[in-house]
């Protein structure tokens, strides 16, 4: 039984995240989606709203792939969270070079704390690679169309908050 942990803030969940989740499901039997509470990052959506987005959008992926997908809010250290859920791998999405430096440091430090948990990097499909939650919010705030970046329910939630 392979268990993975895909952590993030998901503020909000985008089609980029969903693409990574689908890919992660080809590698594990059980996937925890770690939703970081991250109160100091000042998320637009509450933890409950972010968890609901993940649950609503991942139910069908779980059914399609047969992978058990479990949403798991967490506030502690990522490596601690991985240990708590029994994950043997942490899954991260990698976009252009901008993500690399931070992720490189994270792997080094996480490995120093627990060398038996591997970090696996996945790239989204080309059409989703440039999507970032932060930019989606900025575009929406400025009145742009974000419907090609997020699912319909997330677009509706953004409309309610920022429309």
**Which residues contact ligand ADP by CB under 6 A?**
8-10, 14, 16-17, 20, 92-93, 95, 99, 124, 128-129, 131-133
CA Rg, the chain, in Å?
A: 15
Active site residue 92: no
Minimum separation from the CB atom of position 84 to ligand ADP (A): 17
Tokens of 125: 């499909």
Active-site choice (22, 23, 95, 111): 95
Minimum CB separation of residue 93 from ligand ADP in Å reads 2
Task: Print burial letters for 21-43: b (CB count within 10 Å at least 16), e (below 16).
Answer: bbbbbeebebbbbbbbebeeeeb
Q: Which of 30, 50, 133, 140 is catalytic?
A: 133
Joined together, the tokens standing for residue 5 give 């942990």
Is 17 among the catalytic positions? Answer: yes
Residue 30 falls in the annotated catalytic set = no
Contact, 58 vs 95, CB < 8 A? no
* Catalytic hit among 41, 134, 141, 161: 41
Ranges of beta strands (E only) in the chain are 3-8, 30-36, 68-74, 89-93, 118-122
Annotated catalytic residue 72? no
| Shortest distance in whole angstroms from residue 155 CB to ligand ADP | 16
- Identified catalytic residue from 17, 30, 92, 140: 17
Q: How far is the CB of 68 from ligand ADP (least distance, A)?
A: 20
The dihedral sign for the CA sequence 74, 78, 80, 83: positive
Q: Give the whole-angstrom CA distance, residue 153 versus residue 160.
A: 11
Q: Which is nearer to ligand ADP, 60 or 130 (CB)?
A: 130
**Catalytic positions, written as ranges:** 17, 41, 95, 133
């Amino acid at each position: 039984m392979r268990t993975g942990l895909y952590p993030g803030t998901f503020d909000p969940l985008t089609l980029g995240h969903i693409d990574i989740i689908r890919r992660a499901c080809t590698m594990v039997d059980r996937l925890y989606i770690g939703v970081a509470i991250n109160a100091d990052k000042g998320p637009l959506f509450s933890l409950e709203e972010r968890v609901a987005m993940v649950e609503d959008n991942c139910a069908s992926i779980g059914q399609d792939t047969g992978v058990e997908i479990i949403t798991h809010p967490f506030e502690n250290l990522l490596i601690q969270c991985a240990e708590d859920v029994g994950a043997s791998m942490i899954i991260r999405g990698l976009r252009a070079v901008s993500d690399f430096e931070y992720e490189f440091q994270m792997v080094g430090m996480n490995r120093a704390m627990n060398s038996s948990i591997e970090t696996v990097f996945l790239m989204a499909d080309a059409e989703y690679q440039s999507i970032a939650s932060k930019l989606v919010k900025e575009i929406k705030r400025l009145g742009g169309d974000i419907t090609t970046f997020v699912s319909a329910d997330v677009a509706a939630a953004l409309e309610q908050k920022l429309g």
